[in-house]
Amino acid sequence: MTGYQEILTDPSYCGQLITMTYPHIGNYGVNPADVESEKVHASGFIVREENIIPSNYRSVQSLGDYLREQNIVGIQGIDTRMLTRIIRDEGAMNGIISTTDLNENSLLKKVKAAPPMEGLDLATVVSCEESYVWGKETGNRKQVLRQTQQPGAGNRELRAKSQQPTANYKVAAIDFGIKHNILRLLESHGCVVTVFPAKTTAEEIMDFNPDGVFLSNGPGDPAAVTYAIKTVKQILGKKPVFGICLGHQILALALGARTFKLKFGHRGCNHPVKNLKTGVVEITSQNHGFAVDPDSIPENVDITHISLNDKTTEGIRCKDIPAFSVQYHPESSPGPHDSRYLFQEFIDIMREPRREPQGHRDTEVKNI
């Protein structure tokens, strides 16, 4: 029902066709402040019916106009609930949308020639080309920052000086397809975040000397991101590490675990996940087609969270070094804030290695 703009601009959907099951999509329109990256990354959008007259005070254009502006194909008049049932029964599969070639045999040949998701490295496709400081250097965010200054765009990224959080921690975020709201939340917890391209080496990270390293979400097969697995292996034990989604899978692979492709993945904002330490069930937002094999996790790593839908691994934590990760998206708001504590846990493991005396710095962080 909601979140279509965040979904479309989430780099984790790179190369994918998205189908929405709610019958009317586009009710509240589109606004530049709600994007999760600088452009639409999905290859196509499938709905039952588009709402062509959106109603919301923040809306600046309709969903259809937004897709046309972004040169992304969108189709309607599809029985999306039946399509969802087919995917549930048969599994995720390649598809094709065409407005030019309408020959079924020709289209079938084209879709069969498309590569499968297994073995596909898409992180380099969506990653930034050069490093930038979030909130200070625009980098590849020039278009987004320009749009957020338009009337009606809201103020999600524009703050008064009195609202700026106290900067306490220097974080290196490796961009495999990072979402803006992750960066906002790291910033709100007192982090100065420098975003690095996916192929950044361990030497470059260590030369930067951050207090912690964040491994972002992203698209594709985690086992194919071999360069990132190598980088994380060399960083482990030297810097605190926190990973989300693809970053979780890369951390697991760096620790010696294996990943596998799910039948149809976990998508949506109502997935129950149990925290095995506290027993609390979190309502989570998820978007991933691969998962970590629990039987392959080494003895020095604990499984911290599991999915209550299919018992797949949703979180891990190293016993002997400061590193942890989750499969789901704590920066999203289905709970609405069930999982935000994970960002504070990242602050906590960054604070510990520094062994600074209790006092001013700790007080500032706790009060953010």
In the structure encoding, which two tokens stand for residue 167, read together? 């900067």
Distance CA 186, CA 189 (A): 5
Instruction: For CA atoms 302, 306, 310, 312, give the dihedral sign.
Output: negative
How many residues are given for the chain? 368
Tell me if residue 128 is catalytic.
Answer: no
Catalytic residue among 191, 245, 269, 318: 245
Contact residues for 359 (Cβ-Cβ < 8 A; gap 6+) = none
Residue 142 C-beta-side C-alpha neighbours within 13 Å: 2
Tell me if residue 331 is catalytic.
Answer: yes
Q: Could you tell me the CA-to-CA distances from 206 to 134, 212, 297 in Å, in that order?
A: 19, 10, 26
With b for 16 or more beta-carbon neighbours within 10 A and e for fewer, the 131-163 pattern comes to bbebbeeebbbeebeebbeeeebeeebeeeeee
Distance CA 217, CA 13 (A): 10
Ramachandran assignment for 278, one of left (phi > 0), alpha (psi -120 to 50 degrees), beta (any other): alpha
Residue bearing tokens 């969108």: 74
In the structure encoding, which two tokens stand for residue 128, read together? 């930034």
Expressed in angstroms, the distance from the first to the final Cα of the chain is 32
Catalytic residue among 36, 157, 314, 331: 331
Tell me if residue 329 is catalytic.
Answer: yes
Active centre residues (catalytic): 245, 329, 331
